[in-house]
Amino acid sequence: MKKTIRWGIIGCGKIAAKFASDLKLVDDAVLYAVAARSYDAAAAFAATHQASKAYDNYTALVQDESVDVIYIATPHSFHYEHTMLCIAHGKAVLCEKPFAINTLQATEMINFARKQKVFLMEALWTKFLPHYQQLIQMIQEGKLGVLQSVLINFGFKPQAPVSPRLFDLKLGGGTLMDIGIYNVFMALSILGKPQQIQAVMVPHAATGVDEQCAVLFTYPNGAMAQLFSSFVTTLPTEAEIAGTAGSIRLTSRFYEPSATIQYYHFTIRETTEIQVPKESGFGYQYEARHVNQCLQQGLTESPVMAHADTLLLMETLDAIRATAGIHYPEDAL
């Protein structure tokens, strides 16, 4: 009989609420404790999502011996601090993306987890969704032939009340780290590490974070990836992957379970919608199930979202930022 994995959550914002809701769809999981900067916020969140404990500080949560694993859903710039806190207390961690602000932080987090023999994974939920796994399977089966092109856009105009973190440099704001990371993740998943990276950004007038960012990857075989993210306008938020034999269009939003797969075969000139399994919920249950499986097996690293995958993504984001001129306070440390 499987052990019930008792989850804790650090940070009680919108993403944490979706994750907590989907945790109810995971058979061997229970939301045990949550922590926020105020007790009222934590208690309200705990009541909504039926958590047993609510804490007004993160240290109290990580010191709770009943907690098996902690989901970190705080702003980007706190991921390093909160992950290190959890690992220091022997807690397994699922850390929301972006895993860290830069590669230096990510490397320290991973090395510490390995030293302490504690499970650590980046919460890039898209990698566990059925439509993403179907996409990768079709590519591996040669349905697209030799891959040549990846075109991805992700844009929305934030509506009032605008979340302060989106435009706050100290919180890791900007399009690249908030939404452009999905574009970069998909391109790396499909084409691998690029030979060359070009990038430009438009800074927000008040804070300097990137409010638009355009990225171009090029590869030795001539393949290219064009990636665009924006807080200035709403974009289709779709992904198009094309090869020598066919193409795939992931409809809006390409990174969520709501996306559909439209496959176009060049020879028969026909578009087919590929069916994939759909579940209720927001889609976070898939990564939660995977983490539980890893913990049930005593693993300290995911075989699906491995540490090497996180480091490649982080290194690529660093290279994009260096090229485009996107800098955070942590880069100077």
- For the stretch 25-70, pLDDT in tens is 999 999 999 999 999 999 999 999 999 999 999 999 999 999 999 9
pLDDT of residue 163: 85
User: 109 Cβ partners below 8 Å, 6+ apart?
Assistant: 80, 83, 84, 87, 95, 99, 100, 120
Check: pTM over 0.85? Answer yes or no.
Answer: yes
Instruction: List C-alpha distances in Å: 194 to 16, 191, 217, 259, 303.
Output: 33, 8, 6, 26, 23
**What residues contact residue 175 under an 8 Å CB cut-off, 6+ apart?**
154, 155, 209, 210, 211, 212, 213, 229, 230, 231
Query: 2 pLDDT band (50/70/90 cuts)?
Result: confident
Residue 323: in which H helix or E strand, if any? helix 307-324
In this prediction, residue 333 carries a pLDDT of 65
Q: How many helices (H) and strands (E) does the chain have?
A: 10, 14
Mean pLDDT of the residues in the chain: 97
Q: Which is more confidently placed, 268 or 246?
A: 246
What number is the average pLDDT over the span 226-245? 97
